[in-house]
């Protein structure tokens, strides 16, 4: 999604803006631009389709100390210089993250046609703002247009006659701000300015910010002053850097053992799950009649694992709803339902809006979120923060694993509170959970072998991931990983379902990644694998067997560390991540920034 940064201070703004945009590249984008006040007070703009390095190439050497910067992930209008932000209209220059849903109506209602040169909704907002700006009252202009807008927005605005000042306002789309010795900062997320300081605050919705080189003031739409709620960054700037790895994704795959340890260990006392420091009382887990999990993408796949586990341990129905679907079908939840929203960024608008809908029906909403203070975390009744540290690569790896681990923690807690498990068994369960870090490390050590295996897949048009039970839920994540960073089409299939049609697609050399870690269905899965092998598939088999040499089953076997079946998902999914990673690298692609994708999807 779009990246936003604003700075007003006592050092060159251009350096702060361009470096900040570089740090926001991971959010995914297709064009970039900056606007700044020249010494004369005139607003100057530089923008281009392409990368931040292309933007740097067209920037002149200027001493401006106040400006705004933007990386655009196109929603309305193609990837062109004209559609890049900032958009300048009359006396206003503006950048935007979000979607103005009623921009067409605004154009006709306010006669803006002849003021527009781009195809974007953002330029309409700029033109409307300029229409209401009398040359002096910037805040008045903001107050005039905000009630007219429908949709999501995070705006940063420069007004002529207000040199050195940046104005901002948000609704749904995220903004954080800070004051440091160099000046004042605002951005769509912390990575843009974390090197300048650790204290920041989340910009409240509909708060109008005025930033100067020394101060940030806020007022609500009625003019009442708002004080910022300061908070501290929970990670350091190196956490958002590659630390010697070739890519963020490889670094984050390798960080998984520590990420899980940081997320789980502080929540174990006396060998049992303890969520009191998270402010989640045991009462939250009592009398739960059913559970609904709402999420998107990998977070939804982590929810699928959670569903499989919780249903088996609790014997209560668990539904995993794709957040964007949940919102438009009557949700079957009551005040006895638990709703769990899962989101790495905590800003995915589909998940946020689904949570808002769920909250109309139940007070038992809990979110599993990796970004402290994010919208989904703040709006759920309870939050279980994962401690994976910043996840920069677009493809989720460590965040997915800690989300899965969080479901294991919650499942054990639920089973204990509902007396479905003895304390002794719960202690064994939690010990197994703490040991998954070792099993992940063990398969990471096999990376070179896994890299070799992927070479046979690079020219595949179609691949299949198959398994049963927990292995089937993992197959979904494996397929997504491969698709999103190597662009090889992949499909996850319940192994027992293939023969009901899709096996027609299996022919000589089609890669099938098969998972067989669940003992209770092991022999069934092996039979399904033989079926595809007999039809020429190239089978990579993941199981906890020491060795499988029967060529009628698989072409190659990856041996996973022997653990309780329910915990094999952690090492198995790490293999799938590594397969996807080396397929991407093998095709000469950038696994960190796959085409068309954004790290946090803050538009519907
Ligand atoms: C996963 O690799 C993708 N990057 C994507 O599916 C992601 O998991 C999804 O957009 C949800 O994001 P969130 O966890 O920040 O809500």
Give the pLDDT of residue 71.
93
Give the pLDDT of residue 72.
86
Ligand 1 pocket, mutate which of 174, 294, 298, 595 (most atoms under 8 A from CB): 298
* Interior/surface letters 247-258, b for 16+ CB within 10 angstroms, e for the rest: bbbbbbbbbbbb
CA of 599 to the centre of ligand 1 (A): 7
Is pLDDT of 241 > 80? no
Task: Name all residues whose Cβ lies below 6 A of ligand 1.
Answer: 296-299, 343-345, 348, 351, 394-396, 484, 600-601
Is pLDDT of 23 > 80? yes
Give the pLDDT of residue 172.
87
Local confidence band at 602 (pLDDT 50, 70, 90 cut-offs): low
Which atom number of ligand 1 is nearest to the Cα of residue 301?
8
Tokens describing residue 166:
């940046």
Range with the poorest average pLDDT among 22-26, 372-376, 409-413: 22-26
Is pLDDT of 237 > 80? no
DSSP code for 560:
P
Q: In what order do the strands lie in the sheet with 66-72?
A: 43-49, 31-37, 66-72, 3-9, 183-187, 176-180, 199-202, 230-232
Q: Whose CA is nearest to atom 16 of ligand 1?
A: 343
pLDDT tens digits for 535-554?
999 999 999 999 998 988 99
pLDDT tens digits for 80-104?
888 999 999 999 999 999 999 999 9
Angle between helices 470-486 and 568-586 (to 10 degrees): 20
User: How many angstroms separate the CA atoms of 200 and 209, rounded?
Assistant: 14
Is pLDDT of 155 > 90? yes
Average the pLDDT over 249-255 and give the result.
96
User: How many angstroms separate the CA atoms of 577 and 581, rounded?
Assistant: 6
Q: Which residue has the higher pLDDT, 243 or 541?
A: 541
CA of 371 to the centre of ligand 1 (A): 13
Report yes or no: 583 and 488 within 8 Å, Cβ to Cβ.
yes
Q: Whose CA is nearest to atom 2 of ligand 1?
A: 395
CA of 239 to the centre of ligand 1 (A): 19
User: How many angstroms separate the CA atoms of 228 and 436, rounded?
Assistant: 40
CA of 503 to the centre of ligand 1 (A): 29
- For the chain, the C-alpha Rg in angstroms (whole number) is 25
Report yes or no: 517 and 572 within 8 Å, Cβ to Cβ.
yes
The residue count of the chain comes to 604
Q: Whose CA is nearest to atom 10 of ligand 1?
A: 297
What is the residue-averaged pLDDT of the chain?
94
In the chain, the N- to C-terminal Cα span, in Å, equals 11
**Where in 527-573 does DSSP place strands (E)?**
538-543, 556-559
CA of 190 to the centre of ligand 1 (A): 18
pLDDT tens digits for 182-221?
999 999 988 899 889 889 999 999 999 999 999 999 999 9
Give the torsion sign (CA, 115, 121, 126, 128). Answer: positive
Is pLDDT of 441 > 70? yes
User: How many angstroms separate the CA atoms of 189 and 3, rounded?
Assistant: 8
Tokens describing residue 187:
């951005």
Give the pLDDT of residue 1.
67
Which atom number of ligand 1 is nearest to the Cα of residue 395?
2
Which atom number of ligand 1 is nearest to the Cα of residue 394?
4
Local confidence band at 76 (pLDDT 50, 70, 90 cut-offs): confident
Active site residues: 2, 599
Which atom number of ligand 1 is nearest to the Cα of residue 400?
8
Average the pLDDT over 465-478 and give the result.
97
Is pLDDT of 354 > 70? yes
């Amino acid at each position: 999604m779009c990246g936003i940064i604003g700075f007003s201070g006592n050092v060159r703004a251009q350096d702060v803006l361009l470096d900040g945009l570089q740090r926001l590249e991971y959010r995914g984008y297709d064009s970039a631009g900056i606007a700044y006040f020249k010494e004369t007070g005139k607003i100057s703009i530089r923008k281009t389709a392409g990368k931040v390095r292309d933007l740097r190439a067209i920037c002149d050497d200027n001493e401006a100390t106040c400006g705004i910067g933007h990386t655009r992930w196109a929603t309305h209008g193609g990837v062109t210089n004209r559609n890049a932000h900032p958009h300048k209209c009359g006396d206003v220059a503006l950048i935007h993250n979000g979607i103005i849903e009623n921009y067409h109506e605004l154009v006709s209602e306010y006669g803006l046609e002849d003021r527009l040169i781009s195809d974007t909704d953002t330029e309409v907002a700029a033109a409307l703002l300029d229409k209401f700006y009398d040359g002096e009252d910037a805040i008045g202009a903001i107050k005039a247009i905000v009630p007219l807008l429908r949709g999501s927005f995070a705006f940063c605005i420069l007004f002529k006659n207000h040199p050195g000042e940046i104005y901002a306002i948000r609704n749904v789309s995220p903004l954080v701000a800070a004051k440091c010795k160099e000046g004042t900062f605002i951005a769509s997320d912390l990575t843009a300015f974390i090197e300048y300081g650790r204290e920041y605050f989340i910009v409240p919705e509909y708060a109008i910010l005025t930033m100067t080189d020394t101060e940030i003031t806020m007022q609500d739409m009625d003019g009442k002053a708002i004080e910022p709620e300061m908070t501290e960054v929970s990670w350091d700037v190196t956490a958002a850097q590659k630390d010697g790895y070739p890519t963020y994704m490889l670094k984050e795959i390798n960080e998984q053992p520590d990420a899980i340890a940081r997320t789980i260990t502080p929540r174990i006392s006396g060998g049992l799950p303890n969520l009191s420091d998270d402010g989640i009382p045991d009462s939250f887990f009592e009398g739960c009649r059913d559970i609904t999990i709402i999420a998107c993408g990998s977070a939804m796949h982590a929810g699928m694992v959670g569903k499989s586990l919780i249903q088996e341990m609790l014997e209560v129905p668990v539904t995993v709803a794709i957040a964007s679907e949940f919102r438009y079908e009557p949700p079957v939840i009551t005040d006895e339902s638990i709703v769990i929203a899962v989101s790495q960024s905590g800003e995915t608008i589909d998940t946020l809006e689904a949570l808002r809908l769920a909250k109309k029906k139940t007070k038992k909403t809990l979110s599993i979120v990796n970004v402290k203070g994010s919208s989904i975390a703040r709006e759920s009744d309870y939050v279980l923060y994962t401690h994976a540290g910043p996840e920069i690569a677009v493809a989720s790896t460590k965040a997915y694993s800690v989300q899965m681990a969080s479901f294991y923690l919650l499942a054990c807690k639920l089973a204990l509170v509902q007396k479905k498990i003895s304390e002794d068994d719960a202690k064994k369960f939690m010990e197994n959970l703490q040991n998954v870090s070792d099993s992940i490390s063990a398969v990471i050590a096999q990376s070179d072998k896994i890299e070799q295996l992927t070479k046979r897949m690079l020219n595949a048009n179609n691949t299949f991931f198959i398994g049963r039970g927990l292995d089937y839920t993992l197959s979904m994540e494996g397929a997504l990983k491969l698709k999103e960073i190597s662009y090889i089409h992949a499909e996850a299939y319940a192994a027992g379902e293939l023969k009901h049609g899709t096996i027609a697609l299996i022919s000589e050399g089609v890669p099938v990644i098969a998972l067989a870690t669940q003992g209770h269905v092991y022999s069934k899965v092996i039979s399904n694998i033989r079926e595809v092998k007999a039809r020429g598939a190239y089978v990579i088999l993941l199981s906890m067997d020491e060795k499988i040499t029967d060529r009628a089953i698989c072409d190659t076997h990856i041996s996973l560390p022997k653990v309780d079946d329910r915990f094999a998902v952690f090492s198995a999914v790490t293999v799938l991540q590594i397969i996807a990673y080396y397929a991407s690298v093998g095709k000469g692609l950038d696994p960190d920034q796959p085409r068309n994708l954004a790290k946090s999807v803050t538009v519907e």
